[in-house]
Amino acid sequence: MENFRNLGIDESVLRVIKEQNFSEPTEIQQKSIPHILKGSDVLGCSATGSGKTLAFGSGIIQNCDKGRGVQSLVLVPTRELCEQVYKNLSNFSKYKNLLVIPVYGGVGIGPQIQAIPRADVVVGTPGRILDHLDRKTINLNNVKILVLDEADQMFDMGFIQDVEKIIRYCPRNRQTMLFSATLNSEVSRLASKHMRNPVSVTAVQNVDPSKLSQCYYDVDDSTKFSLLVHLLKQEHEGVVMIFCNSRRAVDFVNKNLRANGIESTAVHGGFSQHKRNNAIEKFHAGKIFVLVCTDVAARGLDIKGVSHVYNYDIPKDSKQYIHRIGRTARAGEEGKAISILGQRDHDSFRRVLRENSVKIRREELPQFEKVVIRVEPRTQGFRGNRFGQRSGFRGQGNRGVQQRDWLGSPRRHHHGYNRR
């Protein structure tokens, strides 16, 4: 507790830190909070789950007063991250009684219009903030602190022009903080254009390499999904995240996992906001232990206790592999990253190996049964543990069976990864 106090954090925030039983500041907190509290612009590089929200939140809470309009704006790339940051900031600021509100699309704009005039801090996505600016339902003239969180993802999602337009609505005399998992040339250009002599702070990955096991399976396309089911049914404990490259793949995997008796939920940008929030809440509450998602939907979400990360698809961008495996092996816990390589994954996997310092061992294929794949899976009548210790259906017949594991036509010839 004293280590947090020594950083200069406001007593109202220290009370929350004590209630949350935080033991020691994280690396990004130790390095950035003193500069943030001095009012310096800060350019931070750190991974998801490294404690960034408390870092920039300490400055927001210390320098904002209730009832003086929107004094701080936090821009985030996704709705899920918006909800997460909003809840954390609301909690950290509860003894100062600041009103923090989330502003994002996919939900009704009316309640937001009513809440904004009373807000002290707004956490929002670029598109919906621009919508309010166009409607003149938000005023940023009193903004003292601007935070750009997960800036590299905002670039990846094509929000840069929106972000720069929003920045022009904010006063020039402000404190700007930019946090990003990677500091690429685009992020650096944005920082040099809109920040004043920023202090650069870098925190190492929160993953313990000694606790992380990485492996891959080279499998025929026609049995790719069957292998995933087999591996999941061998796991009896832990929290699993399965990454796919597309919404269609997420739907395919999630529906057919449930059809084969594995309780899972899915998150991607095509879902309604209510459905996305419901899925994340179930996962956080421990009601479901397998989350199937795209990179965009999962990026920025702080999901604790992930024991296994599965790459059902290998990401096209090799950096995304590092972001994915960074979900596990945290805080001294062991973790495992498993990649399942089908025919179309080989080129992307070579890039991962070539562009990242990772050691990924090849595993021999176990004996496993080919599972039934259904276009419209049915899960009634199935009994087993949460990872499905039995397989099959009762009274469903074979209607709607699709005898392939892949999104696309399986190929006749399979050449292993080692073919160069």
pLDDT at 329: 79
Residue predicted with more confidence, 233 or 392: 233
Nearest to 345 by CA among 153, 217, 212, 157: 217
Q: How far is residue 383 from each of residues 36, 291, 393, measured CA to CA in Å? A: 53, 20, 9
* Structure confidence by residue, pLDDT tens digits, 209-249: 778 999 999 999 999 999 999 999 998 778 999 999 999 99
DSSP for 79-128 reads: HHHHHHHHHHHHHHTTTTT--EEEE-SSS-SHHHHHHGGG-SEEEE-HHH
The phi, psi pair for 100, rounded to 5°, reads -105, 130
The pLDDT tens digits of the residues spanning 340-377 come to: 999 999 999 999 999 988 889 999 999 999 998 875 43
**DSSP secondary-structure letter at 338?**
E
**pLDDT-based confidence at residue 297 (cuts at 50, 70, 90):** low
Q: Which residue segments constitute the domains of the chain, with CATH numbers given?
A: 2-202 (3.40.50.300), 209-362 (3.40.50.300)
Is the separation of the CB atoms in 76 and 152 below 8 Å?
Answer: no
Average pLDDT over residues 70-98: 95
Would you say residue 394 has pLDDT above 60?
no
* Averaged confidence pLDDT in the chain: 86
Which residues fall within 8 angstroms of residue 342, CB to CB, at 6 or more apart? 219, 220, 221, 224, 406
Laid out side by side, the sheet with 72-75 consists of 100-103, 121-124, 72-75, 145-148, 175-180, 42-45, 199-202
390 neighbors 261 (Cβ within 8 angstroms)? yes
| pLDDT tens-digit map of 262-294 | 999 998 878 887 887 788 888 878 889 999 999
